[in-house]
């Protein structure tokens, strides 16, 4: 018994894991040097938090769209639920309690994620009975319903927005939450549950025939994605200090989906890279104001053409690029 435990705990400290730890620390030190020094412009420094938020949103949506294979267009709705829930808690904690700011923010992050996950359960049970275009339309409608409800509620500030949110989000909090998100979701994907979810994506009928409760695993993936969308929403709200319903319209859901598709559905690493590129790209095109959106659209088209080209396939075969999982046609 003791040998088994020591073997399992010893397997954590592998060379591969130590290399990853060194990379995480090195990236943090580089970011800290850029933020604290004068090497980066003020505008570039302001983009680090949005990059981290987009990484969390893209990786979490990839659980539903890439690994589960269900097209969801309501991710901005869960983000909104988490943002307002966390913000309302921290505002209350700041005004009526003596909770230290770091603890209040940490609790706000957890509350935002949990409330979004609860809505994920409530919405996921009926919605995940649908498939394909029907599921996409219903999740899109859910996101718009959430935005409309927030728009008319007094406690959320309505159309004027919720103001007075303490600005707790910074690059340190964002980087820490991003790393935790990546570690948790990467291990989830590699776990038994993640493999089962991928098998449901490949062939739900075959998975059900061997005793897998497909609906339970669909809801699990949906809830996990909703939780991390809520966490990203809390970071988003405490970065702006003002929340408005317009921040969470269907364009936000489409933006997150574009990041997932360009990075490769079923690829966490691809979602991270695509989130960084697509957050920075519009800013690099600010010099060409008249042609900014045209150049941005052309860049998206070129990336999509590259992803489906023979050049990428050759690079994957040679091992110079990570191979993306092929999504099989769903059995009807």
pLDDT per position as a tens digit, 291-325: 666 776 777 777 777 766 676 667 666 665 555 55
User: Do the domain assignments include residue 37?
Assistant: no
Instruction: Flag whether 237 is in a domain.
Output: yes
Question: Total domain count for the chain?
Answer: 1
User: Which tens digits make up the pLDDT trace of 230-277?
Assistant: 999 999 999 988 899 989 988 899 889 989 988 888 889 989 998 998
- How far apart are alpha carbons 298 and 216 in whole angstroms? 40
Regarding predicted confidence, which is higher, 266 or 17?
266
Residue carrying the six token digits 């790393």: 179
User: Count of CB atoms within 10 A of residue 273's CB?
Assistant: 18
- What contacts 24+ positions apart, CB below 8 Å, involve 129-138? 129/215, 131/70, 131/330, 132/71, 133/71, 135/70, 135/71, 135/72, 136/71, 136/72, 136/73, 137/73
Mean pLDDT of the chain: 84
- Asked if 258 contacts 278 with a C-beta cutoff of 8 angstroms, the reply is yes
| CA–CA distance, 259 with 59 (Å, rounded to integer) | 9
pLDDT in tens, 164-213: 899 999 999 999 999 999 999 999 999 999 999 999 888 888 888 888 88
Q: Does residue 130 fall inside a structural domain?
A: yes
Q: Is 36 exposed, middle or buried (0-12, 13-18, 19+ CB in 10 A)?
A: exposed
Residue with tokens 């919720």: 162
Is pTM beyond 0.85? Reply is yes
Helix, strand, coil in percent for the chain, rounding step 5: 75, 0, 25
- The answer to whether position 258 is within a domain reads yes
In terms of residue numbers, what domain contains 92? 44-284
Q: Is residue 244 part of a domain?
A: yes
Task: Tell me how far apart the alpha carbons of residues 127 and 120 are, in angstroms, rounded to a whole number.
Answer: 10
Q: Within a domain: residue 9? A: no
**From CA 68, how far away is CA 196, in angstroms rounded?**
9
CA atoms of 53 and 47, how far apart (whole Å): 10
Task: Check pLDDT > 60 for residue 328.
Answer: no
Q: Is residue 4 situated within a structural domain?
A: no
For residue 134, pLDDT beyond 70: yes
Task: Give domain status of residue 291, yes or no.
Answer: no
């Amino acid at each position: 018994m003791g040998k088994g435990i020591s073997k399992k705990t010893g397997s954590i400290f592998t060379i591969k894991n130590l290399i990853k730890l060194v990379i995480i620390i090195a990236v943090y030190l580089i970011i800290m040097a850029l933020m604290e020094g004068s090497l980066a412009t003020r505008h570039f420094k302001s983009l680090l938090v949005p990059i981290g938020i987009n990484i969390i949103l893209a990786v979490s949506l990839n659980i539903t769209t890439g690994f589960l294979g269900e097209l969801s267009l309501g991710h901005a709705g869960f983000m909104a639920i988490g943002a307002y829930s966390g913000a309302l808690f921290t505002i209350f904690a700041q005004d009526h309690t003596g909770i230290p700011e770091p603890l209040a923010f940490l609790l706000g992050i957890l509350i935002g994620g949990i409330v979004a996950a609860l809505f994920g359960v409530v919405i996921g049970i009926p919605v995940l009975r649908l498939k394909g275009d029907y599921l996409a339309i219903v999740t899109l409608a859910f996101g718009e319903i959430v935005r409309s409800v927030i728009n008319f509620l007094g406690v959320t500030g309505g159309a004027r927005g919720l103001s007075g949110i303490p600005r707790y989000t910074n690059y340190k909090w964002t980087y820490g939450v991003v790393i935790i998100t990546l570690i948790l979701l990467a291990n989830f994907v590699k776990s038994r549950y993640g493999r089962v979810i991928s098998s449901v994506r490949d062939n739900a009928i075959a998975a059900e025939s061997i005793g897998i409760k497909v609906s339970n695993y669909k809801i699990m993936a949906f809830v996990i994605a909703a939780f991390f969308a809520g966490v990203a929403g809390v970071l988003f709200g405490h970065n702006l200090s003002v929340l408005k319903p317009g921040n969470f319209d269907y364009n936000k859901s489409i933006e997150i989906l574009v990041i997932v598709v360009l990075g490769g559905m079923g690829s966490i690493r691809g979602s991270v890279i695509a989130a960084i590129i697509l957050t920075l790209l519009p800013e690099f095109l600010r010099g060409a104001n008249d042609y900014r959106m045209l150049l941005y659209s052309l860049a998206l088209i070129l990336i999509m053409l590259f992803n489906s080209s023979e050049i990428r396939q050759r690079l994957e075969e040679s091992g110079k690029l990570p191979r993306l999982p092929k999504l099989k046609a769903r059995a009807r």
